[in-house]
Amino acid sequence: MKFAVINFPGSNCDMDLYYAIRDGIKQPVELVDYRSESLAGFDGVLIPGGFSYGDYLRSGAIASQAPIVKEIIRFANEGKIVLGICNGFQILTELGLLPGALIKNEKGRFICETVALKVVNNETAFTSEYQANEVINVPIAHGEGRYYCDETTLKELQANNQIAFQYCENVNGSVEHIAGVMNQQKNVLGMMPHPERAIEEILGSDDGLKLFQSIINYQVRVNN
């Protein structure tokens, strides 16, 4: 399974993601420039964390107008795997590929720590290697990670099991402790925590590795 890691000006977790794919799950991976207009030949798209365009205007807002974006939308609409982490999650909500928005943390502070997450839905392309309700330790590093959506959207997310991860302790004030959500078809996931920074014990946790392994195993099932 060949992955693209999109590189925007200001992305800073692109090499972590690249490493997670190349060394963590040993799959082919390439960095793709934001000015590129094709994702031909790729099976999965990863949008890394960082501060694309310096977070000018709103986190992810300017990146959502970049040339590569049309291809990401096509890719998502074709049911292919799209994962956005941290700033990547913010970009996906700005694109409208995921519902809701990410706004300033409730306490206004940048939070950088390892947090406990609950796997809410383990029957997805991103989470099948986890147990239902499994608690995993994954780092977060964000100032604008408070997930917000209106009541109607929240009810839809719950009814359709689109919530992938919740914070065990609501660190940033997110609606329903939401740390990661998927689109209706569940081929697009956005999450504020960084699974790519938790793929080896030496990093403090390898709980993030199963997320990437889930994607591979899902693709194997789809292909058979």
103 binds other proteins (CB under 8 A): yes
Within the chain, where are the H helices? 14-19, 69-77, 87-95, 151-159, 209-223
Out of 49, 100, 145, 190, which residue is the one contacting other proteins (CB under 8 A)?
A: 100
Check binding of 149 to other proteins (CB under 8 A).
yes
Options 86, 142, 149, 177, the catalytic residue:
86
Alpha-carbon distance of 219 to 154, in angstroms, equals 29
For residue 168, indicate whether it is catalytic. Answer: no
Spatial CA neighbour of 91 closest among 51, 151, 131 = 51
Q: Annotated catalytic residue: which of 71, 94, 129, 196?
A: 196
Residues from 30 through 69 that contact other proteins (CB under 8 A): 57-58, 61, 65
Cα–Cα distance for residue pair 24/111, rounded to 1 Å: 26
CA dist list (Å): 84 to 5, 152, 201, 202, 224: 10, 23, 23, 24, 26
Residue 177: active-site member: no
Among positions 148, 168, 176, 203, the unique one binding other proteins when judged by CB under 8 A: 148
Q: Is 196 part of the annotated catalytic residue set?
A: yes
- For other proteins, give the closer residue by CB, 144 or 196: 144
| Least Cβ distance, residue 196 to other proteins (angstroms) | 26
The catalytic residues are: 86, 194, 196
